[in-house]
Structure 1
């Protein structure tokens, strides 16, 4: 049966940059290892309009960030010295592990014109025995990601395995992540090999068991349930899930199985022990004032 319907909430991560926040949700913190999901855009800005949308250098621990664009482009810089222009259809997988800082800057005005910029970002929690891995960053081009097509169906495997598809995107626990486009009337299902499965409607609307669902909703299904998803119009879906990892704590941009590790990360960022990107080190996001914020609620500055 359908376990829960999550309604995206509006969150602001900076001037001019409001997002739909899907995970974490108070009644459903994670789907498989996925602990965070934001949908940004489409952003409507004229080429001559100034913007302060850039996400300044900020830290992470205990997770992988996964950036996936529908349109536009973003420049990623991190404390490993990586500088990567992220383009639509690529998978950008940054494993923070023991600690990394990065920025995301929107440096091409043309990429912001006409509502082109649109992206999904997720965070994938790391297994306990890999939370302190050395940080890494990998960029995978669209041609490295398998695509399946059928009548009215287009599907790209972003990471993991599903429907017999696999790719070389390096993951740390069993999961799946798919970008699916359905034409009106097309029918689709969910991969059966994973315990926890969610469907986020990024565009359009679908019908399941006679009920309609639309943009901004995530549907989470129990194991053993095999729903038939029918597109009411051309629709874009993000399917994700996998095997649960157990309890995780999240505060601002930090994720860990241990509260004391998050406290250490706070101190490390405040004291400058997490290095800034060497090519973007003149400004950064300071540690937010705590004000007894629950450890399960990320601060609004966090997109990635």
Structure 2
């Protein structure tokens, strides 16, 4: 049986977020050091998502939605709405600031909201790279269909296909939908792998996988995934990190000193500003 990690639940007012990485059981899977499952929820029209500008260093943020929409703005001047099936990939590098809000077109309207927000730690050689932002529409992502299985290669490579998303380390990130009775062998080409069942009933070999728990797979195995009824699961992983990472608030680094520097820079307003926005999330006291 794989290692199972149950989420820590957070109520953000109108919707819940389940966090499975980092955890006491596992700090990372491949380059993924943070994994949040948002919803599923119905957001009321008078409770839009409004995440004020906040900073990141040393990581790439990855947003992937199944329902709803989000408006991304950052200190590079990027303004991009993300819709279901698209990918927003923001490389923070030496520092970036961004906000995330419900788009104006959905304000005042009750709507479904469901997706994942993850962080990928950058390799040590790229931790202080120039920040960038990239948007990849759903139609640009490779999709594989057959025998009741639909695979979307969100980032990295898998099943003989490669996503156009530019990654800096070997990455595995695939959205999988299965019809009733469909089966899929999980290949062993990546050193670290995990499954996150989102909906339906899924079995891994002879064990049922609980929904909304991270199942970390043993290396070099070829487990068989089987669906009873329609189901959905995320496959993630890649090469192990090239050293330990410190995670404090929104900062990720191989160096504690670098995180202390980022704290000081945010206090001093030196990490940038989202054009047109004056609000910001202050540095936590602890």
- TM-score per shorter chain, which class? over 0.9
Aligned match of 1:255 in 247, 252, 255? 252
Contact preservation (8 Å) 1:73, 1:111: no
Q: Does 1:86 align with 2:85?
A: no
Q: 1:4 is matched with which residue?
A: 3
Q: Distance in 1 between matches of 2:218 and 2:150?
A: 25
Q: Does 1:217 align with 2:216?
A: no
Q: Distance in 1 between matches of 2:65 and 2:107?
A: 12
| Closer, same or farther: CA 252–112 of 1 in aligned 2, 3 Å | farther
1:125-274 equivalences under 5 Å are 125-245=121-241, 246-274=243-271
Contact preservation (8 Å) 1:199, 1:220: yes
Q: 1:20 is matched with which residue?
A: 18
SS in 2 for 1:188: strand
| Structure 1: segments with no counterpart, 5+ residues | 291-304
Q: Alpha-carbon deviations, 1:259-291, whole Å to 9, x = none?
A: 1111111111111111111122x111100111x
Kindly report the root-mean-square deviation, in angstroms, between the aligned alpha carbons of the 2 structures: 1.6
Scaled by the length of structure 2, the TM-score of the pair is 0.95
Q: 1:55 is matched with which residue?
A: 51
Equivalenced residue count is 285
Q: Distance in 1 between matches of 2:113 and 2:123?
A: 32
Q: Distance in 2 between matches of 1:177 and 1:37?
A: 12
Scaled by the length of structure 1, the TM-score of the pair is 0.90
Contact preservation (8 Å) 2:56, 2:92: yes
Q: Distance in 2 between matches of 1:128 and 1:214?
A: 35
| Structure 2: segments with no counterpart, 5+ residues | none
Q: Distance in 2 between matches of 1:288 and 1:17?
A: 22
Q: 2:96 is matched with which residue?
A: 100
Contact preservation (8 Å) 2:48, 2:107: no
Q: Distance in 2 between matches of 1:55 and 1:212?
A: 36
Q: Report deviation, 1:114.
A: 5.6
Q: Report deviation, 1:110.
A: 3.9
